[in-house]
Structure 1
Amino acid sequence: MPMLVAIAALILGLDLVTKILAVRHIEPGDPISVIGDVVTLTLVRNPGAAFSMATGMTWVLTLVAIAVVIGVIKIGRTLRSPWWALGLGLVLGGALGNLIDRIFRAPGPLQGHVVDFVSVGWWPVFNVADSAIVCGAILLVALTLFGFEPDGTRDAKAAGE
C-alpha cells in the first residue's frame, strides 16, 4: 500500500502542478508549439470523458471517478505485488487528478470541466492524469493476461504453463 500511495501522490502532484501552469500560461485558442504542429500545448476545458465523450454527463463521470478511487483503495489494502501497486497507483493518481477538476472547477461542484493541454498529432488533447490512467490500465491488463495476481502470486494457467 505505501508504494501505491506514493505513486498516486506523485501523479496527483504532477497533474495539479501542470494544470495550474497550463491555465496560467496557455491562452485558449492560442496553442504553444513544442515540436512544430505535431506536439503543442493547447488549453481545453473538457466536460466529458476521454475523447470528449459523454459531455452532458459530467456528474455521472464524477460518480464513476469516486467509485474508481474507492475500488482502488479497497484493492490496494491487500496488495503484495509491486507491479500491481504501480498500475493501481497510476490509475488512482489520475482518477484523483481529474476528480479534483470535476469537483472544484467551473461550472461547479460535480460538473467541473477537466483541464486538458497536451496535443499530439491527431490524438485528442489530454493531461497527466489521463496519461497515468491509460498507462496504469494497460499495465493492469497485461498483468492479468500474464497471470500476475495482486497478492503477488502467479496463475499458472493464465501464464501458459
Structure 2
Amino acid sequence: MSAVTPRIPIYKDFVLLQLAFLIFLIDQFSKFVIRDQLQFRESFPREGFFRFTHTHNTGSAFGIFQDQNTALIFVSIIGIAILALIYRSQVVPTGLLRLSLGLQIGGAAGNLLDRLLIQHVTDFVDIGTWPVFNVADASIITGLVILGYIFLVAEPVDNEGSGLNGGYGWCPVCDGQMLTVTGGWRCTICGVRERVVGELLTGDRLVEELTGDQKL
C-alpha cells in the first residue's frame, strides 16, 4: 500500500458537495420567495435599518461591475474551476479549506444560475447604507475570508503524511474520506477499515493492514 495519500477529485468529496448544494438551495429558495412576495424595488418593512428589498443586479457581488452579465457568467465558471484546482492541489484538504470552497462554490452556482436564466441576480438583503446583497454574495465573501486566512495566517499543514501520524485522507478502495477511529481509520462511505498491526524492523514507519469485507 502506498504511503502517500492519493489526491481525490472534488466531485468525490461528498461533505463539500453537500455544503455547496445546501448553500445553493438556500440561496435559490430565498430569491424565489422575494420574487414571489415583493414587487421590484419594494421593501419589507418599508423603513428601518434592516429590510428585505427586491432589487436586480447585473453586476457582481454588492453591485459592482454593473451591466456585465455575460462577462460575469464566464468569470463565474472560471472561478469555480479555479476553486476546484485549489482543492486538487491539496493531498488531504483541511476541513477549513473544504468549508471555504463549499461556501464559494455554492454561492457562485446560485448567482450563476440567476445570470443564465433571468440575466440578472436577485438581491434582497438591505442593511443600512450597505449595497443590497443576497445569500450567495454573503457565502462567497465568507468563503474568501476563510481562504485568505488559510493562506495568509494559518500555519501550513503537512498533509503528505501517512501511517499513524498522518493517516490516510481517502479510502484506498472507494476514495471516500477516512476518519480516525480507535486503532486506525474507517471509511465514511464503504466502511472499510485500516488498522495498525505492527512496525517494520527499521522502526521508521508503520504497516497498515486492510480489514473488513473489502480487500485491496
Name the TM tier (shorter chain).
0.7 to 0.9
Matched with 2:144 is 137
How many residue pairs were aligned?
145
1:96 paired to 2:96? no
Greater CA deviation, 77-86 or 135-144?
Answer: 77-86
Which structure's residues are more often strand, by fraction?
A: 2
Q: Identify which of structures 1 and 2 has the higher relative contact order when contacts are C-alpha pairs closer than 8 Å and 6+ apart.
A: 1
Partner in structure 2 of residue 153 of structure 1: 158
**SS of alignment partner, residue 131 of structure 2:** coil
Q: Does 1:123 align with 2:130?
A: yes
Q: Structure 1 residue 33 and structure 2 residue 40: aligned?
A: no
Please tell me whether the aligned partners of residues 4 and 76 of structure 1 are also in contact (alpha carbons under 8 angstroms).
no
- Normalised to the residue count of structure 1, the TM-score between the two structures is 0.83
Q: For 2:136 and 2:105, locate their aligned partners in 1 and report how far apart those are by CA, in whole Å.
A: 9
Q: Which sits farther off after the overlay, 67-76 or 118-127? A: 67-76
| Alignment check: 8 A CA contact 2:62 2:137 kept | no
CA offsets 1:30-85 (integer angstroms, 9 cap, x no match): 20029x51011100010011232222321111100000112222333445201000
CA separation in 2, counterparts of 1:32 and 1:50?
Answer: 22
Task: Report the counterpart of residue 157 of structure 1 in structure 2.
Answer: none
**Aligned residues of 2:100 and 2:142 also touching (Cα < 8 A):** yes
Q: Which runs of 5+ in 1 are unaligned?
A: 106-111, 155-161
Report the structure number with the largest CA radius of gyration: 2
Residues of 2 paired with 1:74 and 1:125: CA distance?
Answer: 31
Matches within 5 A, 1:58-97: 58-77=69-88, 78=90, 79-97=92-110
Runs of 5+ consecutive residues of structure 2 not aligned to the other structure: 1-12, 160-216
Matched residues in 1 for 2:64 and 2:133: separation?
13
State the shift of 1:144 in Å: 1.2
* Off by >4 Å, runs of 4+ in structure 1: none
Letter in 2 for 1:12: F
Q: CA RMSD in A?
A: 1.8
Higher alpha-carbon deviation: 114-123 or 139-148? 139-148
Percent identity between the two aligned chains: 32
